[in-house]
């Protein structure tokens, strides 16, 4: 079983993905943002000021995510390709060229369990790695991911609470029924 934890930044995806990985003894496929930023030796907010760098960065993130999603083994994924496509639409001028990637991403999500973590103001925090947390941007990314799921008929489970115990109960209920 593949499990995807998706959503905008500052929604608690990594925390929930780690919990699922530990609770259900599944390998965790971490998001690629932090490693790619480290390899580029640049701060995300500096990178966003240069359109060419941003396009290259987003392209690399999508490539890494696609490669990870094509693995055959069961795992918990901290993000999905649609997350990175939403950021590409927000921060670049190249999202029009991603039609094939979108259809392929939707096909990879078929049969998987997809949790969409909805934004909660109380979860917004600047961790020094992710981009500056601006509520309007969080909402736009969330809306784009949701739109992509709807456009490509991807089944997903929205989680709209900030309470970690409630999130865990929802996830456990869904996954225990699938096992």
- Residue 12 contacts residue 167 (beta carbons within 8 Å): yes
Instruction: State how far the Cα of 179 lies from the Cα of 28, in Å rounded to an integer.
Output: 17
pLDDT of residue 170: 98
More confident residue, 122 or 146: 146
- Render pLDDT for 83-92 as a digit per residue (tens, 0 to 9): 999 999 999 9
Q: What is the pTM of this model?
A: 0.93
Q: Is the pLDDT of residue 130 over 70?
A: no
Q: Which residue, chain included where needed, has tokens 């078929």?
A: 110
Instruction: State how far the Cα of 85 lies from the Cα of 48, in Å rounded to an integer.
Output: 15
Instruction: Work out the mean pLDDT of the chain and round it to a whole number.
Output: 92
pLDDT tier, 43 (very low <50, low <70, confident <90, very high otherwise)? confident
Which CATH number, 3.40.50.1820, 2.40.340.10, 3.40.50.300, 3.90.660.20, labels domain 2-178?
A: 3.40.50.300
Q: Is the pLDDT of residue 93 over 80?
A: yes
pLDDT of residue 48: 86
Torsion on CA atoms 134, 69, 145, 137, rounded to nearest 10: 10
């Amino acid at each position: 079983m593949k499990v995807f934890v998706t959503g905008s930044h500052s929604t608690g995806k990594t925390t929930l993905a780690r919990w699922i990985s530990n609770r259900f003894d599944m390998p965790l496929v971490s998001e690629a943002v932090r490693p790619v930023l480290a390899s580029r030796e640049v701060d995300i907010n500096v990178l966003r000021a240069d359109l060419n760098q941003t396009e290259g960065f987003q392209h690399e993130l999508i490539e890494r995510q696609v490669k990870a999603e094509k693995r055959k083994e069961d795992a918990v994924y901290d993000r999905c390709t649609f997350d990175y496509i939403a950021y590409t639409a927000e921060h670049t001028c190249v999202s029009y060229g991603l039609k094939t990637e979108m259809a392929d991403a939707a096909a990879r999500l078929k049969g998987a369990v997809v949790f969409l973590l909805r934004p909660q103001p109380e979860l917004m925090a600047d961790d020094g790695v992710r981009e500056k947390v601006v509520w309007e941007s969080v909402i736009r990314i969330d809306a784009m991911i949701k739109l992509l799921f709807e456009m490509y008929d991807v089944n997903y489970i929205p989680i709209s609470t900030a309470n970690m115990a409630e999130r865990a109960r929802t996830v456990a209920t869904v996954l225990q029924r699938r096992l």
